Amino acid sequence: MQREELLRIKNLSVSIGDVEILHDINLVINTGETHVLMGPNGAGKSTLGYAMIGNPLYQVTSGEIWFKGQRIDDLPCYKRALEGMFLSFQNPIEIPGITLSSFIRSALEQRGIKLRLMQYKKELKNTMDILNIDESYADRDLNKGFSGGEKKKAEVLQMLMLNPSFAILDETDSGLDVDATKTVSLGIEEYRKKNDGSLFIITHNTKILQALSVDYTHIMVDGSLVKTSDASLIDDINANGFAQYEKDQ
């Protein structure tokens, strides 16, 4: 099946301050595809996620990012989000004074989606049920006092409610117990079913990938994409680690 191009990254280099972290990255993601990014700690995986979503700390020093046929590397983060990009943070922050429920509702409103309160609450509860999140969490301040796993589930809840066309999941599956891992992978499947969702999954957890059908796997070492292949690459990494790619540098 011919799929439509969703995201194109061309010769992208990214710096934090004076230090170049990503070097000459090229990547194409089509609608409905699931891509996985793996690599050693500190390789630059989160940096790539932040550069895609437009975190101002990460400066694009050369190259281009295109999303839905539009060049976006000059767009601020919130505009990229309005265009349908979503990033689930590796370390979600606490937002005191704003409840989980009101946070998601206002994010929906910013996207022009205004639901009646009762309808919104019903939809939120249904989605929380899928993710096994107790309904009392809706009225708790976002992430405040949440466990690591609960924060990750809250990220998946936001993804399911906001229904982005492209979701970047940065180690959303790390630090989860067995049950939470299953729940989070169910949530990811639900997202894919709902709207032919496209995913960029940064992970070390090869177990979660067994439950998802992965189209492409990329390996990043020292800020460069050193290998792209299909899902079979995950087994290779499981068996042989990243050292084989580090040697090629």
**Eight-state DSSP code of residue 75:** S
Sign of CA dihedral 134, 180, 232, 221: positive
For residues 81 to 110, the per-residue mask of contacts with Mg ion, x marking binding by CB under 5 A and - elsewhere, is: ---------x--------------------
Nearest approach, Cβ of 16 to ligand ADP (angstroms)?
5
Determine the Cα–Cα distance for residues 17 and 174; give it in Å rounded to an integer. Answer: 28
Q: Which positions touch ligand ADP (CB under 6 A)?
A: 16, 21, 39, 41-47, 57
Nearer to ligand ADP, 46 or 172 (CB): 46
Q: Out of 34, 46, 165, 217, which residue is the one contacting Mg ion (CB under 5 A)?
A: 46
Q: Is 19 left (phi over 0), alpha (psi -120 to 50) or beta?
A: beta
Question: How many CB atoms are closer than 10 A to CB 128?
Answer: 22
Taking CB atoms, the residue at the shortest distance from Mg ion is 46
At 68, list the tokens.
Answer: 């839905």
Q: Element (H or E) spanning 24, and its range?
A: strand 19-30
Q: How far is the CB of 170 from ligand ADP (least distance, A)?
A: 7
> Least Å distance between CB 48 and ligand ADP?
7
Q: State in angstroms the smallest separation of the CB of 60 from ligand ADP.
A: 14
- Residues at the contact surface with Mg ion, assessed by CB under 5 A: 45-46, 90
